[in-house]
Amino acid sequence: MSATYIPLDRAEVVLCLDRRIPAQPGRPMVRVPADAEVQTGGVAVHRVEGQPGYLYYLLDGCIYEQDAGRLDDLPEQIPGAVLTVVPGDIPPDRPPSTTPDFPWDPPVPPEGDATTTPAE
């Protein structure tokens, strides 16, 4: 069994985790060691040699619950990782979205602007 760290852009990781963050207090999470190769990106875990692995998204040194599977055996596969629970002091707001909000109505130029034409 082996784990491979994959560096990814933080915005990409946040986008992939989507509704899984902020994680719910009391839910399981895995903390990777502070000296790990990557603190934000991915960790590919190969549970069975020769079989495809699973990619877990890593955000700020933490792996939260994901579709890749259970977290309870990850510390055995990632050297120095620790299984713990999400603390209750995580702020309730979501991380910034990478998709801009588009207004329904286009902005109206101010009166007297050079781009406006006088009414006839």
For a pLDDT cut of 90, what percent of the chain falls above it?
47
- The CA-atom distances, in angstroms, between 32 and each of 5, 10, 24, 50, 56 are 11, 16, 19, 24, 12
- CA dist., res. 38 & res. 65, Å (int): 18
Average pLDDT over residues 63-82: 91
Ranges of beta strands (E only) in the chain are 2-7, 28-31, 41-46, 54-58, 62-64, 82-85
Q: How many CB atoms lie under 10 A from the CB of residue 69?
A: 13
Tell me, yes or no, if the pTM score tops 0.95. Answer: no
Contact status, residue 26 vs residue 70, Cβ threshold 8 Å: no
Residue 8: which pLDDT band, with cuts at 50, 70 and 90?
very high
